[in-house]
Amino acid sequence: MKNKKEFVILFVCSGNACRSPIAEGILKKKLYPIFKDRIRIHSAGTLGIENHPATPNAVSVAKEKGVDISGHSSKGITKDIVEEADLIFVMATLHRNFVVVNFPKTKNKVHLLTNFDLDKSEQRNESVKDPIGENLKFYRRIINHIENEIDRILPELIILIENKL
C-alpha cells in the first residue's frame, strides 16, 4: 500500500497556542530527519482562533527542548485540514468529540495522544492539561508530558508512516 507521496499528521487542542504547537514542534524535530519532505506535521485549534502566536511560555519551554515555535501562527480547524490528515492527535477527549461530531468521516483517524497505540485495557483517556495562563513550571510539566507520549508512540508511528509511504 505504499503509494502516498506525503504523510500528514495533525495535532489539535483548543486555541492552537500551547499544546498542539508544542507537540507539532517536538514531532517535527524527531521525524523530519527521518522522513524529510515525505511528511507534514501541523496543528490547529477547535476554537477557531487565527493568526495568534504561541504563548510566550510555550515558546520558552519549547526552546529549552531545542524546538523553535517562535514563528507559530494559530489556525482554526477546518474541513480541508482534517480531511487531508492521515492521523489526528488530540490533546483531550473534548477535542476528539469536536472533531468527530463536526467531521464524522475522520472518526477512525482521530486519537487521543495519550491513548494511541495502547490496547483498550491500557487506555487511560487522560487529557494533556491546558497550560494557558499557568506559570513556566506548569508549562514544563506539560511539555514533558507531551514529549513522553510522543517518545512512547514514536516506534509505532515510524512503522505506520513507512507502511503508508
- The pLDDT assigned to 3 comes to 55
Taking domain 8-158, whether its CATH number is 3.40.50.2300 is answered by yes
pLDDT in tens, 140-152: 999 999 999 999 9
Among residues 47, 54, 53, the alpha carbon closest in space to that of 78 is found at 47
* Residues 10/44, Cβ–Cβ less than 8 Å: yes
* Residues 160/38, Cβ–Cβ less than 8 Å: no
- In angstroms and rounded to an integer, the radius of gyration of the C-alpha atoms of the chain is 15
Delimit the domains of the chain by residue range: 8-158
- The pLDDT assigned to 53 comes to 97
- Sorted by sequence, the CB contacts under 8 Å of residue 121 that are 6+ apart come out as none
φ, ψ for residue 22, nearest 5 deg: -65, -50
User: What is the residue type of 134?
Assistant: E
- The pLDDT assigned to 154 comes to 96
**Using the 8-state DSSP alphabet, how is residue 82 labeled?**
H
- Rounded to an integer, what distance in angstroms lies between the CA atom of residue 144 and that of residue 120? 24
- Rounded to an integer, what distance in angstroms lies between the CA atom of residue 141 and that of residue 136? 9
Give the CA distances from residue 12 to residues 54, 71, 90, in Å, rounded to whole numbers and listed in that order. 14, 18, 5
**What grid cell was written down for 65?**
527542548
- Rounded to an integer, what distance in angstroms lies between the CA atom of residue 37 and that of residue 145? 27
Among residues 93, 165, 91, the alpha carbon closest in space to that of 129 is found at 91
- The pLDDT assigned to 72 comes to 97
If the chain, 165 residues long, is cut into consecutive pieces of 10 residues, what is the mean pLDDT of each piece? 78 98 98 94 96 97 98 97 96 96 94 79 76 96 97 94 90
* Residues 131/144, Cβ–Cβ less than 8 Å: no
Could you tell me the maximum CA-CA distance found in the chain, to the nearest angstrom? 46
